[in-house]
Chain A
Amino acid sequence: MTQQEALFQYLLRLGDNALILGQRLSEWCGHAPVLEQDIAITNLALDLIGQARNWLTLAGEVEGKGRNEDQLAYLRDARDFHNLLLVEQPNEDWAHTIVRQFLFDQFNYLLHNELQHSTDERVAAIAAKSLKEIKYHLKYSSEWMVRLGDGTEESHNRMQRALDALWRYSSEAFLTDEIDQLMAEAGIGPDLHKLEPLYHQYVAQVLDEATLQPPTDTYMQRGGKQGLHTEFLGYILAEMQFLQRAYPNMQW
């Protein structure tokens, strides 16, 4: 694999994480627990889709085949998506949405914190811009973790159930492959092994404050980064890509 090919895939991972999570969050718009949170969750979705556009545009440039953000978002099938399994999991209830967000935000924050110093200036620039948004996401989701974990008995139980269900997807980000290694060697991306202990340390702090128990002995699912997804992704794409697929080659 050339470095250019690896970078292309790496950028798709970044873009797809943001796109798929943004798509999931946008399902909440109009259905959130309170009007103020409709607005808040939509802001997260807007940030993420904005980030996805930047990453996918850059991916298209790096690939050099003239594909733009929309061709990459709308005309790839599930096997060519490279997002983490975590972000494609369904919204379920506010508890699942918050836990998913928190587990992702904590990783995403550490990742972008490193990416802003990437040797690739284009990557560094997008990361630095995104980092400000992600910092806020992490603050938002951490606060909700504590608020609901330590709220009522019902909210605590719902949060614990969500954590138990999603925990198996929490470490995929740190399972490195050839692409991660190539990027780390080139100084484009960070050494994920160094980030992992920090991740677990921060997550444990918040879980502790939220009075939630991290599941033990959980097998960590993997595959999303390499294009092996849960069944959910196919439906996300079927919905998201409908118009482009049903009416090919048109301007919208």
Chain B
Amino acid sequence: MSREELEKRFQEKIDAEIKIEPKDWMPERYRRNLIRQISQHAHSEVVGMLPEGNWITRAPTLRRKVALLAKVQDEAGHGLYLYSAAETLGISREEMIEQLLSGKAKYSSIFNYPTLTWADIGAIGWLVDGAAIMNQVMLTRTSYGPYARAMVRICKEESFHQRQGYEIMLTLARGTEVQRQMAQDALNRWWWPALMMFGPSDKDSVHTAESMKWKIKRKTNDELRQQFVDVTVPQAEYLGLTIPDPDLKWNEARGHYDFGEIDWEEFWRVVKGNGPCNHLRMKARREAHEKGAWVREAALAYAEKRRQRQQQKAS
């Protein structure tokens, strides 16, 4: 079958909502695009453990401590599901980690901002997980089977994450004045980075058109961003907190909130490595990987020794 014919049949399957599975024929660009997106998603989960992990040992009550631990643990799990999904496309986890540590692979820029107070843990759960969920719910219908299945599992598990964050915000907003200020300060610092999580505006997004055609993505960055703003504004109002955007207002004609222009210069600066914590996040991941090398090696060596001993016993 000719290449054109294969591509045509591939697109017909996509259009008919038939999932693509690992061994099916797929255009090389589809495969590469998926590896890029899934591994980037996996790296985001794993790097995303760091800013929240920063507060596990300082969580203010034991109930908060176990909830945060379980949440950060889930993120490790989600990273793992996603690495596994990418591995079905013929790349090893080790290769993906190399790409992350060498700076070749990206992860969500949101995790390059620091968690300065306890309220940041609330804001991350509420806003960052809220934004991530928008994206992830869409991805449960993505065209690649293993990715879609990973997302189904992730979405199920994520449902407590955002509630956990909002509950922290609610407790602070209803607490003392000092706590309310802590919550407002966190919202001020996390609002714009959360909006940036949806990526560049559609007119500047290089991957969107192809990803939409192949149904890897099913909504554009701007559509998802709007959806996020629309659901989040009432939540902020309920908390009695102010979203730091003077241009934010309901547009009756559109049936959506209008909001101010994102500082794209900041967005690109952080993507390119100059956010407040890029170097620290990479350092933490690199150290964990390097300090774990002897453990991974020893476990393999022991497994091999044991296999040989069992063989000797058998013969």
Direct touch of chains A and B (CB < 8 A): yes
Most chain B CB inside 10 Å of its own CB: which residue of A23, A52, A146, A148: A148
Checking A46, A93, A150, A244 against B66 with a beta-carbon cut-off of 8 angstroms, the contacting residue is A46
Q: What distance in Å separates the Cβ of A216 from its nearest Cβ neighbour in chain B?
A: 26
A221 at the interface (CB under 8 A from B): no
CA distance A155 to B65 in the complex (A): 32
Checking A30, A33, A34, A93 against B284 with a beta-carbon cut-off of 8 angstroms, the contacting residue is A30
Name which of B22-30, B76-84, B157-165 contacts chain A: B76-84
Q: Are A33 and B295 in contact, with the CB atoms below 8 A?
A: yes
Per-residue contact bits, chain B 266-308, to A (CB 8 Å; 1 contact, 0 not): 0000000000000000001001100111111111011001000
Name which of A37-45, A102-110, A112-120 contacts chain B: A37-45
B26-42 interface (Cβ within 8 A of A)? none
Main secondary structure of the interface of B (DSSP, over half): helix
List the 6 shortest-distance A-B pairs measured between CB atoms, nearest first: A33-B292, A151-B298, A155-B298, A252-B60, A30-B53, A30-B49
Q: What distance in Å separates the Cβ of B74 from its nearest Cβ neighbour in chain A?
A: 9
Q: What distance in Å separates the Cβ of B121 from its nearest Cβ neighbour in chain A?
A: 10
| Residues of chain B contacted by A154 (CB below 8 angstroms) | 294, 297-298
B166 at the interface (CB under 8 A from A): no
A250 at the interface (CB under 8 A from B): yes
CA distance A152 to B296 in the complex (A): 10
A36 at the interface (CB under 8 A from B): yes
- Chain A contributes a number of interface residues (CB within 8 A of B) equal to 48
A26-B57, A35-B80 known; A147-B298 Cβ under 8 A: yes
When C-beta atoms are compared, the residue in chain B nearest to A156 turns out to be B298
B50 at the interface (CB under 8 A from A): yes
A242 at the interface (CB under 8 A from B): yes
A26-B56, A29-B73, A42-B73 known; A34-B295 Cβ under 8 A: yes
CA distance A73 to B284 in the complex (A): 29
CA distance A65 to B239 in the complex (A): 35
Q: What distance in Å separates the Cβ of B100 from its nearest Cβ neighbour in chain A?
A: 12
CA distance A53 to B72 in the complex (A): 20
Q: Are A252 and B64 in contact, with the CB atoms below 8 A?
A: yes
A146-B302, A239-B58 known; A33-B69 Cβ under 8 A: no
The size class of the interface chain B forms with chain A is 35 or more
Checking B64, B69, B80 against A45 with a beta-carbon cut-off of 8 angstroms, the contacting residue is B69
Q: Are A243 and B66 in contact, with the CB atoms below 8 A?
A: no
CA distance A36 to B295 in the complex (A): 13
Q: What distance in Å separates the Cβ of B279 from its nearest Cβ neighbour in chain A?
A: 16
When C-beta atoms are compared, the residue in chain B nearest to A24 turns out to be B57
Give B contacts to A, CB under 8 Å: 46, 49-50, 53, 56-66, 69-70, 72-73, 76-77, 79-80, 83, 118, 168, 171-172, 175-176, 178-179, 284, 287-288, 291-299, 301-302, 305
CA distance A27 to B55 in the complex (A): 10
| Residues of chain A contacted by B72 (CB below 8 angstroms) | 29-30, 42
Q: Are B288 and A32 in contact, with the CB atoms below 8 A?
A: yes
When C-beta atoms are compared, the residue in chain A nearest to B79 turns out to be A35
| Residues of chain A contacted by B50 (CB below 8 angstroms) | 30
Q: Are A250 and B176 in contact, with the CB atoms below 8 A?
A: yes
CA distance A33 to B77 in the complex (A): 15
Q: Are A52 and B62 in contact, with the CB atoms below 8 A?
A: yes
Q: Are A33 and B80 in contact, with the CB atoms below 8 A?
A: no
- In the assembled complex, 18 residue pairs joining A and B whose CB atoms fall closer than 8 Å, in A order, are A26-B56, A26-B69, A29-B49, A32-B292, A33-B295, A37-B295, A45-B69, A49-B66, A52-B62, A53-B63, A73-B62, A147-B298, A148-B299, A151-B297, A152-B297, A242-B58, A243-B59, A244-B60
